[in-house]
Chains A and B, each alone.
Chain A
Amino acid sequence: MAAALSIPSDPPAQPGPMAYANAALEARDLACRRGERLLFAKLSLRLKHGDALHLAGPNGVGKSSLIRILAGLSRPFAGTVERTGDIALLDERLALDTHLPLGRALGFWARCDGLDDEAAARIAERVGIDGLLDVPVRYLSTGQRRRAALARMAGRGAAIWMLDEPLNGLDAASTAMVEVLIAEHCGAGGIALVASHQPIRLPGMARLSIPDYAA
């Protein structure tokens, strides 16, 4: 009875339209320095709910650095970042215990993020890892690991998705799945920021070419 009366504090498992209505991400005059090199400068961007942005450019222009700055994981050389809403981050690192079966490794983050079993199972099915939950993470292939990381990220239920090269190692079918997943997130009012050197097809996605801001 208590459970029925309690007010859910986490975002709903299946967010309706405009579930993340307050989400916003704004950066002003960012500059990033790596060692002696200024990677980019005077970079500003402004994203509100429902926006998707493709950070484009060849390797080494600072896509990952920009994502880490926007996520608050590293400090910009200059400029400010303002965020409203939680972040979910997907980068090249898995952040899953490789000796555990995939289901249990994901279960840790599900508990951290307050994700219930049903929603977790739904996400696992969406990204196509529902048949792999008993397999230890270290036996997974590159593409399967990628999809597992996607499940971890999506399960966070955050308003702002930051994806660093989400398409690396994915086949055509999985690439399409990722595109649909991002489109749905933005459709629900979330923000998606995708750094990729590969083309990514999303309706209404803006494109920011980082080499344009090279110092």
Chain B
Amino acid sequence: MRNAAFVLILLLFMAAAPVVAQETATTTALDSASAAAQVTVTEKTIDPAVLMKGDRATVTVTITNNGAESVPISRVFLSDSDISIPEGSYDSVGSIGAGNSMTFTFTVRADVPDGIYYPRFSVNFRNAPSLRDYIPVKVESTELDVSLVTRPDTFSVGNKETIVLRVGNPRENTINGIYIVPQGEGVEVEQSGSFIGRLQPDQSANVSFDITPQESANLTFHVTYRNGFNTHVLDRVLPVVISDDKKAAQPVVSNIVMTSSGDVYTVTGDVTNAGLKVANSVIITTGAPATPVEPNRIYVVGSLDPDDFSSFEVNFRAGDVASIPLLIQYKDEDGNSFEHTTQVTINRTSSSEEERGFPVAIVAVLVVAALVIAGVIVYSWKKKA
């Protein structure tokens, strides 16, 4: 009887044991879930805040255990079907202690069209449901705006002009390290580059470059900037076409009178500035084949305001040429030298015309006189005989 009672008790115990174990496990799971529920995402940042297509960004997520118990974490990861996340998983995290925070950093790459994407941030707990959150990643490929604010109407060879560029940031995030380098063959630029640095959203900055073109060319402004740690290059091309400056000083020679003395010619006349800018250091002389001679090898007029004029006089020698170049040299306000050439026809005076024809007649007179005199002398000597 005692044995039967022992067996009965044993059977009852065996029957009750799984139920107790199940009840114990259930109680433990509930405790773990309760603890995991205290873990929340407390901070999530992305740098740069707005990506351009192809950019990489750093996503940083901080979770905090607000509970009183340590919570074991099996895996933390960031995933998305569009955004590329090269290393999006933390497989050995351990536990997050009570009151502690943990920060997870991921790198994402936006090889996607513009738009807003939401990668999923997941924290897998042991014995508890996962924690999920979505990190908004904004992709917007608008570039910096580079525009010409000031440029001359025309370019002329050797004439220094100032170009002013305005760089604006139409993006929603700050752009760093903005640097502009001008480059172009046939165009001399005084500044090798210009550094702007940081531009806040909707801000702009002006930069100026002094350029001196030697020929028609394309001047390219290489604009380098950084969006976060992504470097971008933007080119803006300025066609530099050499043409006449519409406002430039324009010396015009008039009232030309040429006289000669032997082989020395004297040219007098007026030089008028028919342009809209001042002509400085105006000098007048003659060019080859003429040879300037004293007393006025060169004639210094000085400064000529628009619509102003001055008289001049230059002396030169010239061979048997029909015309000679009259050179008017002047400078603009920047010291650039210019030369204007006016062909002047050599006006040989009537005596000069006769210089070519008249001697023939005189030679004829000479010959006749010589013959007559010789005849008379011979005749007189014959008479003597």
Q: Do A and B bind each other?
A: no
